[in-house]
Amino acid sequence: MPRRTAARRPATRPTSRNARSAASEQPMPAVAAEAPCPCGLPAAYGACCGRFHTGEALAPTAEALMRSRYSAFVVRDEPYLLRTWAPATRPRSVDFDPAMRWTGLEIADTTDGTLFHTSGTVTFVARYTHRGEQGALRERSRFEKADGAWVYVDGTFAD
């Protein structure tokens, strides 16, 4: 990448419900169950992240939850994002910018976060386009198990 984009925060961000803009009222981009999953794994959306979004299954690892949350941002699934956010750090709502298009996910590293752990981290790069400009969000996210289900706690932006 010729330009540094790591320090730039994407326009999709958690906000209070009172500050929610009309952008969050935009319809979700449709992803058919048979379409490739936005998370980048070689599976159809319905068999991959879609089953987590519908509640048919729980993400078995922190990485699977990270991938499913990325896909939830792609399809603008606010209920799933809030449901998989730790109560202590969960915002009241998620404000989606209609000009934001998530274009790819790369998992750079994982620490713990398996079936045998109660916490874990996932470092990732999420690529996006915003009003014609390409960018990348680099984050190290923390996850914990709460009542047997993985939840997102928080993250730190990386260079």
Q: What pLDDT score does 158 carry?
A: 83
What are the tokens at 82? 């809030």
Which amino acid is present at 157? F
Assign residue 118 a region (left: φ > 0; alpha: ψ between -120 and 50; beta: otherwise): alpha
The CA dihedral of 50, 94, 119, 121, to the nearest 10 degrees, is 90
Q: Which two three-digit tokens encode residue 102?
A: 């998530």
Q: What is the pLDDT of residues 125-148, one digit of tens each?
A: 999 999 999 999 999 999 999 999
> How are beta strands 100-112 and 119-130 bridged, if at all?
antiparallel
Tokens standing for residue 21:
């803009």
Task: Report residue 28's pLDDT band, with 50, 70 and 90 as the boundaries.
Answer: low
Report the pLDDT averaged over residues 1-20. 36
Strands 13-15 and 100-112 turn out to be unpaired
- Max CA distance (Å), the chain: 44
**Is residue 25 predicted with pLDDT exceeding 80?**
no
Q: What pLDDT shows up at residue 29? A: 64
How does pLDDT run across 42-76, given as a tens digit for each residue?
999 999 999 999 999 999 999 999 999 999 999 99
pTM score, whole prediction = 0.83
What's the mean per-residue pLDDT of the chain? 86
Q: Which candidate, 59, 140, 71, 68, places its Cα nearest to that of 104?
A: 71
Confidence tier at 17 by pLDDT (50, 70, 90) = very low
3-state SS, residue 63: helix
DSSP 76-118: T-HHHHHHTB-TTT--SEEE--TTEEEEEEEEEEEEE-STT-S
What tokens appear for 158 in the block? 């990386």
Q: Band the pLDDT of 149: cuts 50, 70, 90.
A: very high
Model confidence at 7, pLDDT cuts 50, 70, 90, reads very low
Pick the closest to residue 113 from 156, 144, 149 (CA basis): 144
